[in-house]
Amino acid sequence: MKYINEINRRKTFAIISHPDAGKTTLTEKFLLFGGAIQVAGAVKSNKIKKGATSDFMEIERQRGISVATSVMTFEYKDTLINLLDTPGHKDFAEDTYRTLTAVDSVILVIDSVNGVEEQTKRLMEVCRMRDTPVIVFINKMDRDGKFPFDLLDEIEKELNISLHPLTWPINSGKEFKGVYNLYDKSLNLFTAGQKSTEENSVPIHDLAESLLDKTVGERNANQLREDVELIEGVYGELDPEDYLQGIVAPVFFGSAVNNFGVKEMLDTFIRIAPTPEPRHTSIETDIKPTDDKFSGFIFKIHANLDPRHRDRIAFLRVCSGKFERNKSYHHVRLDKDVRFNAPYSFMARQKEVIDDAFPGDVVGLFDTGNFKIGDTLTEGENFFFTGMPSFSPEIFKEVVNKDPMKTKQLEKGLRQLTDEGVAQLFTQHGGNRKIIGCVGDLQFEVIQYRLLQEYGASVNFVPLAFYKACWITGDKKKVEDFVRFKQANVMEDKDGNLVYLAQSEWFLNTERQNNPDIQFHFTSEF
């Protein structure tokens, strides 16, 4: 309990959304409020001029997307915030999945024009797996979008979560007048082309006041009164415990590009969002943030963060105790001690050497090839943090080496890239055939580019018609027989686990029926 003050002032969360919902803009506004950047546009201009943290390859700059998670630390109202900005592009969902294991809560950005989109559903499924607390920010209210009540119904139905509005919009699009804060009973007025300021806030403790009619007009005032009456009747008071258990998601409306409605959400976030949470392990006991001894896990590995140096940075989430510079820690998987003389904290691409870190913090560790995703560091105990599964990829392609003289370089490149979690590597059981599995096609372009640029290995990818990768377990003799009969379809993942590649849903269902003693798992954690 000796670090309780440090633990209680930390909030670690991720911003997730469908591409183009306004996630990067919202991130920028948070950093502005925290004083981490000085001018609006700094995040986006970095992408254009210098390249943002994650945009370290030419292929990413050309396409204008981020393919890796950025880590940003800043302070706001005596709260230390660790913000993990995730890739929005669906082809890089695997990186986002892993990032969600390293945070204690999530802000989900939804475009008021497009509503719930496919990627949003998939991200929310991962949040549901861990009951991660979620706050919803409905963005782009200054554009003509869906009716707010319709949006709430759609979100509840599509994402399977109960909502609780804490602000409410007055109209949308060209008629957008502002939002009413249901918590502190104040009206925040919107003026197109102007940023939100304290002067725009009008305290209205009773909606019956005539001041409301004078401020927004009689028609809008009456509509707001009706809406708020309905909201209060349906939703009542927000129970913070329901939010912390992932049952209810508070909802805020605004326009991130105009910095409108963002401060209300940020102020509520630091008030109700969870401090660092306990973590599940391979032993029966959960690790609590207040435990005296240090522990943490690697949730991301990033190569060439600094283009001038061929470096690999492993991102460590501190789970308990105190991480200290130059102190030796136990690498559980390798069963050896490691120490770090230059651990980093991050503000986008900028790195700053730190002397210590506490539960909830994300630390960058220089990696010479010792780390894999999911590795655990402790002060001597032997356990692993769980809850970081690999999911079945959706696209499979066979690796064809174009230059046999570079076979060793190719092997090394594939091993390191898959250790980073860029993709999943499957090797034929008892053979040498290699298959890469990814969530989206764009990943293959990134792998091909990086293999050539970083390892000098030139490859082609041949598409394969597989439906799912299933990890198989069960009766040893039955599994051996299955592997022998289905040799062409049985692979090993990079950790040596057996994986069955099913050609179609029909084939998979048939194998399940024919082999009742074998379990087919869609994730690597079973």
157 is in an annotated binding site: no
Quick one: three-class SS letters along 263-313?
A: HHHHHHHHHHCCCCCCECECCCCCECCCCCCCEEEEEEEEECCCCCCCCEE
* pLDDT at residue 251 tops 90: yes
Question: Is 359 among the annotated ligand-binding positions?
Answer: no
Q: Tell me: is residue 23 an annotated ligand-binding position.
A: yes
Answer whether CATH 2.60.40.420 is correct for domain 295-378: no
- Identify the CA nearest to 124 among candidates 251, 246, 268, 265: 246
Residue 88 annotated as binding? yes
Q: Fold match between 4-272 and 395-521?
A: no
pLDDT tens per residue, range 2-35: 788 899 999 999 998 887 888 888 888 888 887 7
Check whether 142 is labelled as a binding-site residue. yes
Mean pLDDT of 492-517: 93
Q: Note the pLDDT of residue 88.
A: 59
Alpha-carbon distance 237 to 123, whole Å?
27
Q: Tell me if 242 is assigned to a ligand binding site.
A: no
Give the Cβ contact number of residue 278 at 10 Å: 15
**Predicted local distance difference test score (pLDDT) of residue 55:** 44
The average pLDDT across 176-189 equals: 84
- Residue 68 assigned as binding residue: no
- 65 — pLDDT class (breaks 50, 70, 90): very low
Q: Is 268 annotated as a binding residue?
A: no
53 band by pLDDT with thresholds 50, 70 and 90: very low
Residue 49's pLDDT is what? 37
Please give the CATH topology (third level) of the domain spanning 395-521: Alpha-Beta Plaits (3.30.70)
Residue 524 annotated as binding? no
Tokens coding 502: 């099913």
Is 17 annotated among the ligand-binding residues? yes
Q: Which CATH architecture has domain 4-272?
A: 3-Layer(aba) Sandwich (3.40)
The domains of the chain are located at: 4-272, 295-378, 395-521
Is there a binding annotation on residue 85?
A: yes
Task: Please tell me whether 141 is known to bind a ligand.
Answer: yes
Got the DSSP string for 156-225? Answer: HHHHT-EEEESEEEES-GGG--EEEETTTTEEEE--TTS---GGGEEE-S-TTSHHHHHHH-HHHHHHHH
Say whether pLDDT at 58 is over 50.
yes
User: According to the annotation, is 185 in a ligand binding site?
Assistant: no
Report the pLDDT value the prediction gives residue 306, as an integer from 0 to 100: 52
